Amino acid sequence: MPGSTHSDGFLWGAASAPHQIEGNNTNSDWWVREGQVPGLERSGDACDSYHRYEEDMRLLAEAGLNSYRFGVEWARIEPVPGEFSRAELAHYRRMIDTALGFGLTPMITLHHFSNPRWFAEEGNWAGERAVDRFVTYAERVTDILGDVPYIVTMNEPNMLAMMLTRDRLTLKEQQRSGMWQSPTVDTDRRVKWPTPDTDISDALVKAHHAVRDVVRAHTDAAVGWTVANRAFAARPGAEERKRELEYIWEDLYLEAASGDDFIGVQAYSSVWVGKDGIEPHPPHPDNTQVGSAYRPDALGMAVRHTWEVTGHTPILVTENGIATADDTRRIAYTDEALRHLFAAMDDGIDVRGYLHWSALDNFEWGHWTPKFGLIAVDRETFERRPKPSLAWLGDVARRGRP
C-alpha cells in the first residue's frame, strides 16, 4: 500500500518480548542460563510488566500509537510437557482484551527466543520431538487467539539457529572465561557466529510451517514469522561472498515465508562483507550502545531485500530501533529510518506497519545497559517515564508518515 497512512489501516506501534519485560520467568531455559554463565546479568523482576501491562499499553495508546506487539510465554503456559495452565492462558487473554480496549491492534508472538526449561533439556530445537512439542503448544494457545489479527509464529529464527549452534560450541568456554556474549551486543570481542547446524534450521522451518497451519485452522489471523535482517553491503569484488552469507543468515528463512500472510522485517544496522566474509565493525564515536554502526538507512535496505527474496510477500516492520541513552538521537535515527521505509513504499513495496523496538527499556538478553525503549523504567520502583521519542512517534502516527 504505497503511501499508506493511519487512516487506511497502517499499524503504528511498539514491540516487546515476554522474557525481557515480564519478570520472574523462572521455568524458562533463559532463567536457568542466567544462573550458569558468569558475566550474564539476571532478568529478575525485569520491568514487572507481567503485572503492569495495562499501564504500558495505556501509555502507548495515549501517545497516539495503534498497535502493540507482545508475546505469550511458552514456559508459563506449559510448565511441564502436556500440562497447560488455564490461569496463564487467562492472563494472556486479559492482555489481549486490554490492548483491544485501548484501541491497540494486538500482534502476538508465540516464541521469542525463550523455551520451557524441559524443552531445552529434551534437546531444544535439535530434539526429536521439538516440532511436535511446538505444534501441541500452538494448538492449545490458539484457543485464546481467535480474534487476534496478527500472529508471529517465531521471532528471528535465523538468530535462534545461530545462538543454538554457537551454544553447542561455546557454552563451556563462556563458563570458563566468565564472559557472556549477548546475541544482540556487537563488540570487537564478539564470538564469531558459526554457520547454523542444518538440523536446527530444518526444525525451525518445519515448526513454522506446521504452526502456520495450526494458526489458520484455529484463528482468522494473518500469520508469518520475523527475520533479523543485517542489511549486508558488499565491498568491491565481494558480491558472491555476500550472496553466500545472505543465504545462510537470511534468505533461507525468507524463502520459508513463501505462502505466509506477511513477513516481519527486523533491522537495526548494516554490515559490510569483504572477500574474507563479514567485517568486524570498528569502534567509533557514533556506534550504538550495542556496538553496531549508526545506520538508519538499514531499514530501507532490509525492506527492499526482503520484498525481492520473498517474491513480494506483504511486509510488517516488526522491530526497528537504536540502543542509545540519548533520546534526541533515537528520534533522529527513527525519523531517518522511516524516511527510507516510506521511500520504499512509494516505490510500490507493500508495507503494512511499523512497530518500534522497543516499548520499554528492558532486559537485553544478558545485559541491562542498552536502552532501546520509548519508555524508561525505574528498576527499583518500576515507575514508567515516557521519553520524548514516544510522543514524537505518536505524532508521526497521527500524520500517517514522517
Residues annotated as catalytic (active site), given as ranges: 156
Q: How many CA atoms lie within 13 A of 310 on its CB side?
A: 30
What residues contact 358, with CB distance under 8 A and at least 6 apart? 14, 15, 16, 20, 319, 321, 372, 373, 374
> Cell match 537485553: residue?
364
Antiparallel, parallel or unpaired: β 222-229 and 263-267: parallel
Tally the residues of the chain.
402
Considering only CA atoms, which of 144, 168, 82 is closest in space to residue 118?
Answer: 82
For the record, the C-alpha cell of 285 comes out as: 564515536
CB of 25 within 8 A of CB of 43? yes
User: Within the chain, what is the greatest distance between any pair of CA atoms?
Assistant: 57
Considering only CA atoms, which of 324, 397, 317 is closest in space to residue 364?
Answer: 324
Considering only CA atoms, which of 60, 70, 66 is closest in space to residue 387?
Answer: 60
Q: Is 323 exposed, middle or buried (0-12, 13-18, 19+ CB in 10 A)?
A: buried
Task: Return d(Cα 392, Cα 78) in angstroms, integer.
Answer: 39
Q: How many CA atoms lie within 13 A of 301 on its CB side?
A: 18
Q: Is 191 exposed, middle or buried (0-12, 13-18, 19+ CB in 10 A)?
A: middle
Report how far apart, in Å, the C-alpha atoms of 156 and of each of 2, 63, 124 are: 26, 28, 16
